Amino acid sequence: MVGTPEHFETCLLCQRDFHFGHNRYDGRWIERLRAYICTPCLQGNWDGLANPEKIKRLFDHLDELGIPHPEPNAKGWIPLG
């Protein structure tokens, strides 16, 4: 038997690899941001991204792809969903 290869993606925000595929999804592809983001990052920032370091990483990524930055919410945080 040949085992099914593990499939991982890298979270844009925390740069950690997470399972993505073969019945295990520890994160999501966010089409609007064209990025994979892991579940802990999504859950930790459900009401918006506030960490300047991670916001910079996200904005650099969007700039690279020519995607406009998301509008900050009422708290001045960046929505991920």
Which amino acid is residue 29, in one-letter code? W
Is residue 49 a contact point for Zn ion (CB under 5 A)? no
Judged by beta carbon, residue 1 or residue 15, the one nearer Zn ion is 15
Is residue 14 a contact point for Zn ion (CB under 5 A)? yes
Is residue 58 a contact point for Zn ion (CB under 5 A)? no
Q: How far is the CB of 65 from Zn ion (least distance, A)?
A: 19
Q: Where are the alpha helices (DSSP H) in the chain?
A: 39-44, 52-65
Q: Which residues in 32-51 are b (16+ Cβ under 10 Å) and which e? A: ebebbbbeebbebbeebbeb
By CB under 5 A, name the binding residues for Zn ion.
Answer: 11, 13-14, 38, 41
